A and B are shown apart, each in its own frame.
Chain A
Amino acid sequence: MAFSRTFSPRPKLPLKPLACWLAISLTAACLPASLSRQLKDQGRSLLAPGQRLAWSALKSLRRWGLVWQDRGDRAVELAELRQRVRRLDEINQALQANIARQQFNVSPDTEQPLPLLGARAIETRVLGEQSQVFLERTAIVAAAEMGRVTPGGMAIDAGATLVDSGENASLSASGLALIGGRVWGKVVEVCPQTASVRRVNSAGYRGLAQIVDRVSQAGRPLAQGVVEGTGDTLCRIRMVDARSPISVGDLVVALEERALTDAPLIYGRITRAELTPGAAHWELWMEPAVADELPQTLTILQPRINEERIAQKNSPTHDQR
């Protein structure tokens, strides 16, 4: 009796169910990617009703102020909203100028309209160190040397590259600087005759980006995030949801100029993808698509209103229809 109290037999391990389960797992791991994706979609659709219920519960809690919003989500939301406001401001200004000149005669149109926005590609020369030194001697002043400030002088960002076009070529800040279809940087400051362009991998660079599948030809979008320059060779991509199926080699394209160009503008390729257990976001590093050397020329992309569309609206043939 005493023996039965102190000694408890070792629990029998369910080896057969374990072997079955491991076999099922191995089969699932060996499934082709397309089938695996289908199964995942099916599984997620099973979770959808529960998630809808949970979201509605969360919304009511948020209405009563009982739930705070994730700071990461807020940062992305804020960046997107700022971008949208800037774009809308530009469109509004252009439209107001057009309205002042012409009067609209709106009629229903069943034809596919031309795009409202287009892009103006401005070719600029990159100023080398010699040219910059020369400009500093003549017109450009450093912020520290306040005694040498002269009217009409230009302040330059020391960490940025200088190009030889500015307000004279109607450049505006935040226009993307390209080499071919690849993003080299972004205009950060515009002076009367020059502009400063910050490289993608320079510290302080930020831009909205989309990660697209490297496998599919159509470039299936996987996630959105914020590209950040680190001052090093590689850039970081932040705020990418941990549930997004990212892998090394996926392409990163610019999201800011999406409506302006037909082809995607490429930031680079993901070279490192880490998912720390329990983290809400991926830790991603991207290699820029452009080489490290200073280019001779850069193409600055500037949004513009499609004049053809405005002209089409106001043309006599359009009025007759």
Chain B
Amino acid sequence: MSKWLFILPAVYVAAVLNNVVSPFLQVRGVSPDFLALAAALSGLCAPGAAGLAAAGLAGALADIVAPGRLGVSMALWALVGLALSATRKLTDRRPLAQTLAACGAVSGMLFLASIARGLLGEQSWSLAAFASGSAAAGLYGAALALPCCWLLDRFGRLRKAAY
């Protein structure tokens, strides 16, 4: 578990990027969600409880930054992170598969959080807008995830070669 502690500063940096840099990278009204991306990547990299904790922590920070009540993204993102972590054998060392999984995970996390907030009455219900927005944010996330997955793969290979 302790070797995954680097995920904490990574999630913090993602939250800062989400608040500061994300509005500048807006394309046709869609801006990247670095926190969801960090949650997805940590779910893909870290096993079991570490993936769950990292994705949950990213969700907690998303709750803090976003309007609405706490705990919504915290719970849902942790579940998605755990699902990614449990199925990571399928995508291990395959950057393209990891990117696709990250795309789906980012879309899923944002969609589920929107649905939950709609059900809680924190925002108006619009399933089409939720779905299209989540899909667009997921695709944007995938574009950013591809170099990250490739770098993580290279880093893993180098580390293995060094041992």
Instruction: Tell me the A residues contacting B by CB distance below 8 Å.
Output: 8, 11-14, 17-18, 21-22, 24-31, 33, 36, 39-40, 43-44, 47, 50-51, 53-55, 58, 67-70, 72-73, 242-248, 272-281, 283
Contact = CB atoms under 8 A, between A and B. Distances in A.
Contacts of B21: 54, 58
A21 B56 contact: yes
5 contacts: A14-B82, A245-B68, A246-B67, A248-B123, A277-B130
Nearest to B109: A277
Given A17-B52, A28-B71, A280 B124 contact: no
Contacts of B64: 39-40, 43-44, 47
Interface size range on B against A: 35 or more
B56 A277 contact: no
Contact of B13 (A17, A50, A244): A50
B74 A43 contact: no
Given A21-B75, A25-B75, A274 B19 contact: no
Contacts of B65: 43-44, 47, 243
B95 interface: no
B33 A22 contact: no
Interface string B109-147: 011011001000111101001101110110010000000
A278 B137 contact: yes
Given A70-B26, A278-B140, A25 B74 contact: yes
Contact of A31 (B52, B70, B110): B70
Contacts of B122: 247
B82 A277 contact: no
Contacts of B110: 277-278
B69 A47 contact: no
Nearest to A69: B24
A18 B82 contact: yes
A278 B89 contact: no
B29 A279 contact: yes
Contacts of A12: 48
Given A247-B122, A276-B133, A29 B70 contact: yes
> Is the contact region of chain B dominated by helix, strand, or loop, or is it mixed?
helix
Given A39-B70, A58-B20, A70-B26, A277 B114 contact: yes
Interface of B: 12-13, 15-17, 19-24, 26, 29-33, 47-49, 52-53, 56, 60-61, 63-72, 74-75, 78-79, 82, 85-86, 89, 110-111, 113-114, 117, 121-124, 126, 129-130, 132-134, 136-137, 140
A109 to B, nearest CB: 43
Contacts of A73: 23
B20 to A, nearest CB: 4
A129 to B, nearest CB: 37
B134 A22 contact: no
Central interface residue in B64, B117, B132, by most chain A CB within 10 Å:
B64
A280 B26 contact: yes
A28 B48 CA distance: 23
A76 to B, nearest CB: 12
B31 A50 contact: no
Contacts of B75: 21-22, 25-26, 29
B56 A280 contact: no
A29 B69 contact: yes
A279 B71 contact: no
A54 B16 contact: yes
Contact of A47 (B16, B22, B71): B16
Nearest to B141: A278
A168 B56 CA distance: 66
Nearest to B68: A245
Contacts of B22: 280
